[in-house]
Structures are given as C-alpha cells and as structure tokens.
Amino acid sequence: MPFPPDFFEQAALVVARDLLGACLVSTVGSERTVGVVVETEAYGGAEDPASHAATRTGETHRNRAMFGRAGVAYVYRSYGVHWCLNVVTGLVGDPQAVLLRGIEPLVGEGVMHRRRGGREPLAAGPGRLSEALGITADLYGHDLSQAPLVLTSGWQIADTGVGVSGRVGVSAAANWPNRFYVRGSTGVSRPGAVMNLEESEPE
C-alpha cells in the first residue's frame, strides 16, 4: 500500500524509524527487484552538521532536491564511487532526508546478484543497495510513489525489534542516535551498539 500523502512531510527522525519494514520496489531496466527496508539514517537540515544541507553548505545544485517536496529521491554519489538513495522528508524549504542503508531482498535476487557481480552481501549498505536495485543519478528527484522506483508500506516493526545507534561514515555528529535497524537482519550493514535515546541527545 502507498504511504499517506503527508507521511514523508514529517521530520526525518520520525520517518527513518517508521520506514523500517517498508518495501522498496524497483523496475529499473524492466527487471523487478524488491527488498524490505531494514536500516535507515536520518539527516536534518541546517542544524545537522552531518547533513548535506547544513548551514555551512546551504542550497546547492547537488542538494536542491532536499529543499523541495517530500517523498522524492535524493540520489548522490559517495566518495565518487557509490550511488546512495535518500528519501526527502519534511516541508518544502526545510531540507531533511533519510538515507536508506540496507534492505533484505524479497524478489529478483538473481538480478541483484548479476548487478553486484556476484558479490555478497547483496544490499547491506547504501552503495550495495543502490547497485542491487539499479539506482543511479537518473532517479534524482524521482517521485517514490511512481515506477520505476516505488516505496510502499510493508510490515510494522515493534520497538523491541529495532536497534538504534550513531551514524556510520560521518565525522560530524556521528554519535547522534539517528540510525535505525532491524535487529538480526542480514540486510543490516553494521549492527552496532544500541543506544538509549533518553541518554544520548544530539549535541
């Protein structure tokens, strides 16, 4: 089922948690691949030093999608190598996004294996996820309610099954508890240490 129209207009931290269990459906290249979202990271706007839209950066050609309407794809290349898929959240002009860090494959594992050159894990980690589903810059600004890349509701994950940790691969605000993952899932890139949200507030 599609998400309600205002689902993605919420804060990135809320959407990141609630996207666990959602389905990501790709028909890129007319090949259907589907995975369940099991790992996410939330990035705020000006107040988040790790965000591409932090105060020091502002709006640029690269991050302009973050300043637009929610529910579209913000795709960027990490370290000049890997494509990363983010979902824009929040209201227009309040740039926020959720990085999709890992999925558990449901459909089209053969296609994912071919795209990944037989390498494992298939889609644990943002670069692997994008490669497995055929995601590139061609999907920048794409409406994620439309083919060839659709994000739909799936399964609800109980709080007891969710791990929370600091973010991966960032130097600024790495300790913020903005990373959410499904405990025990093979699609999680780094299980990490669970943090207590009440004891670990953003600086």
Q: Point out the least confidently predicted range of 57-61, 64-68, 96-100.
A: 57-61
Measure the CA–CA gap between 4 and 153, rounded to whole angstroms: 9
Measured in Å, how far apart are the chain's first and last C-alpha atoms? 37
- What pLDDT, on a 0 to 100 scale, did the predictor assign at position 1? 84
Question: What is the pTM for the complete model shown?
Answer: 0.92
Domains observed in the chain: 7-182 (3.10.300.10)
What integer best gives the mean pLDDT of the chain? 92
Is 9 a residue whose pLDDT tops 80?
A: yes
Is 63 a residue whose pLDDT tops 60?
A: yes
Bridge-partner residues for 148, per DSSP? none
User: What's the number of CA atoms in the CB half-sphere (13 Å) around residue 54?
Assistant: 9
Report how far apart, in Å, the C-alpha atoms of 35 and of each of 68, 90, 113, 166 are: 26, 24, 13, 24
Q: For residues 119-135, b (16+ Cβ closer than 10 Å) or e, as one string? A: eebbbbbbbbbbbbbbb
Is 15 a residue whose pLDDT tops 70?
A: yes
> What's the token pair of residue 31?
């090949």
Mean pLDDT of 133-157: 97
pLDDT top residue among 58 and 198: 58
Look up tokens 């390498």; give the residue: 119
**pLDDT band at residue 192, thresholds of 50, 70 and 90?**
low
| Strands 162-165 and 73-78, sheet pairing | unpaired
- The secondary structure of residue 111, as a DSSP letter, is H
- What pLDDT, on a 0 to 100 scale, did the predictor assign at position 58? 87
Is 130 a residue whose pLDDT tops 90?
A: yes
Mean pLDDT of 148-162: 96
